[in-house]
Structure 1
Amino acid sequence: MSLQMKKRVFVSSFLLVPLALYAMFVLYPTFKLFQLSFTDWNGLDGAKWIGLDNYREVVQSREVWVSLRNNLIYFLTGLVGVAFSLFLAVLLTGKLRFAKGFRSIVFAPFILNATAVSFMFGFLYETESGAINVALRALGLGFLEQRWLSDASVVNVSLALIVVWKTVGFYMVILIATLQSIPEDLYEAAVIDGAGKWQSFRFITLPCISDIVKLSVFLVFTGSVQTFEQPFLLTGQGGPGYASMTFALYSVHEAFQFSRYGLASAMAVVLIAIVLVVQLTQHILVREKGDNHEDFK
């Protein structure tokens, strides 16, 4: 065996194990997921082939559309969180005293366990003895009290704010890293040309960080459509009624409470398709921007 062949065999032997694990834990489960999405299976008896019936039910189900609407609330609230993260990133990148300490404080919630954070906010959101309503009464703002987790009109925003509180530090950190990579020469030239802070932010900062902002928006989207812990732990699995039911929670609900694994698999496939479409759209937008830059050059 030649030296070149030995090198190939040596490298291939190292790749064999991770490829086998990838096929076992990713490719095969994905294939089975697609297969089960065309069946009616209760988890015990044999799976019965029913074609596209599960997908028709997903499209026609009122509960599915309610859950997607709730996911949209998470997404829109998450966008507000990204905007706040950008504000903090710009503020803490400047010459502010104790900036590093503030960064650590804001980032700290991101490393906390999601279950612990949910239960902590559960105590804050309690109607009678929760810290939020108690503080509102103490400040003479009792008219602002809410049933944060049992009122269908506010429950999704209440739960989405938990996610924002936990993730705002993460987006702040990646935005700070991007802001610090912008050459200072650009800002110095802008000042010489008479640009103010807003003009510098609009024409220098935003264009330089636009790709990271788009990435943050995509991460917010994927996180919002996969939201599970907060409604599962705090609202009795999507209560009141289906008011806080999310798409991921509803699919788990159908699978493990009603043993409709075929329908749950179809919902998972739909979720994968939604994420792929959004990712493809983002990729096209970013590529078009790069092509435009090349044309400009």
Structure 2
Amino acid sequence: MSNPATAAQKKSFGEWFRSRKVQKRLLIGTFMIVPLLLLLTFTYIPFAKMVQFSFYDMKYIGPRTWVGIKNYVDVFKRSDIFGSLLLSLYYMAGAVIQLALALFFATLFVFKVKGESFFKATMFFPYLICGIAVGFIFKFFYQRGMVLDTILQMFGMNLNNIPFWLKDQKINNWSLVATSVWRYTGQNMVLFLGAMMSVDTDLYEAASLDGANKWQQFKYIILPSIKSIVVLNLVLSISGSLSAFEPPYVITNGRMGTGTYFVIMNRLAHENQKVGLASAMAIVLLVIIIIVTVAQKLFFKYAFDDGSSDESKAAVKAKKKAAKLAKKEARA
């Protein structure tokens, strides 16, 4: 005889299908199908094709010739390609300056200044402007005899003593870096400011009562509280420096020693039709960005790790060392 309890537990397919658990999974799966299809169509498949193209000597239209790793060898052999990576050092230096300025201004706004809303909006506004438009603005700003030269002449400088901001290879890359600093400082400032505003204001009041000045409040309260945001912004900024494109492309078109890695890659792919070589450049850049990102995270992990929530890293190491010595003495 069948067990009545077991028979009561059995459900028909319709009841099982209409159950809350199954409906929940179907709903989640349905909503995931479209994003996954879009991600597969516009990200993973194109990436796989780019990896495939990097092993061919090819144009967009026409025959393909298998060349193996020759394109990757050319990336490191050609001075115009691998040498352009050195220009990323300018943008990395600019990223550090940019973050320092953003942190400075965000700290000022935390401690309240007159007209802070106006200054916040003014500093964040450049980030809202299209990168191409920013390039055209600074193209005329740096042009000989235009805005910057006119301002310097107002302060008594002779036009003949003013350098060519975009032609002089000693300073033209710094001029382009200043464009990026001007555009992205406000964005980083807002990110820092958001993190700083999450800090309990009672800590500032308690520190003031204990005699701490603004610098001490920043050093011992603000900076430790937003350490993760500082590290994140630094990682993103330095990684983004490797792919700088808009300022050199729009302002100088990569001429006069300003062609960054992305500008050279764009020129090879779209003007010279060397699609295979450009694809190999993209893969190499991806690998470099991954290596730099991992290296930065490891550096900050070991350089700024707190050890535990209650003790510093040095204290944790000292305690472990003392414990080992105590074990050795106990065994002896």
Do they superpose with TM above 0.5? yes
Query: Residue 264 of structure 1: CA displacement?
Result: 0.4
2:307 is the counterpart of 1:296: no
SS at match of 2:99: helix
1:219 aligns to what?
236
Whole-Å Cα distance in 2 between the matches of residues 287 and 293 of structure 1?
13
Within the candidate set 116, 126, 136, 2:152 is matched to 136
Query: Residue 285 of structure 1: CA displacement?
Result: 4.7
2:34 is the counterpart of 1:20: no
Whole-Å Cα distance in 2 between the matches of residues 57 and 295 of structure 1?
52
User: How many residues are matched?
Assistant: 293
Whole-Å Cα distance in 2 between the matches of residues 93 and 77 of structure 1?
24
1:265 aligns to what?
279
Whole-Å Cα distance in 2 between the matches of residues 87 and 263 of structure 1?
43
SS at match of 2:170: coil
Larger Rg belongs to: 2
Query: Residue 106 of structure 1: CA displacement?
Result: 0.8
Within the candidate set 76, 81, 91, 2:98 is matched to 81
Query: Residue 111 of structure 1: CA displacement?
Result: 0.4
Contact 2:244 2:262 in 1 (8 A): yes
2:67 is the counterpart of 1:67: no
Within the candidate set 216, 238, 248, 2:254 is matched to 238
Structure 1 counterpart of 2:32, one-letter code: L
Whole-Å Cα distance in 2 between the matches of residues 125 and 67 of structure 1?
22
Contact 1:178 1:212 in 2 (8 A): yes
Which 10-residue stretch deviates more, 183-192 or 84-93?
183-192
Compute the RMSD of aligned alpha carbons: 2.0
2:169 is the counterpart of 1:152: yes
Query: Residue 278 of structure 1: CA displacement?
Result: 2.5
Contact 2:245 2:263 in 1 (8 A): yes
1:274 aligns to what?
288
Q: Deviations over 1:140-162 (max 9, x none)?
A: 12265121111111111111111
Query: Residue 279 of structure 1: CA displacement?
Result: 2.5
Which 10-residue stretch deviates more, 37-46 or 27-36?
37-46
Contact 1:136 1:144 in 2 (8 A): no
Structure 2 counterpart of 1:82, one-letter code: L
Whole-Å Cα distance in 2 between the matches of residues 198 and 6 of structure 1?
57
Query: Residue 59 of structure 1: CA displacement?
Result: 1.3
Contact 1:211 1:286 in 2 (8 A): no
| Superposition TM-score, scaled by structure 2 size | 0.82
Whole-Å Cα distance in 2 between the matches of residues 44 and 295 of structure 1?
63
Contact 1:93 1:99 in 2 (8 A): no
Q: Structure 2: which 5+ residue stretches go unaligned?
A: 1-12, 313-332
Percent of aligned pairs sharing the same letter = 33
Q: Deviations over 1:51-74 (max 9, x none)?
A: 211111111221123311112101
Structure 2 counterpart of 1:292, one-letter code: G
Q: Deviations over 1:35-83 (max 9, x none)?
A: 1112211222232222211111111221123311112101111211111
Whole-Å Cα distance in 2 between the matches of residues 210 and 140 of structure 1?
44
| Superposition TM-score, scaled by structure 1 size | 0.91
Higher relative contact order (CA 8 A, sep 6+): 1
Query: Residue 261 of structure 1: CA displacement?
Result: 0.8
1:180 aligns to what?
197
Within the candidate set 122, 134, 138, 1:105 is matched to 122
- Segments of 4+ in structure 1 off by > 4 A? 285-291
Whole-Å Cα distance in 1 between the matches of residues 248 and 126 of structure 2?
19
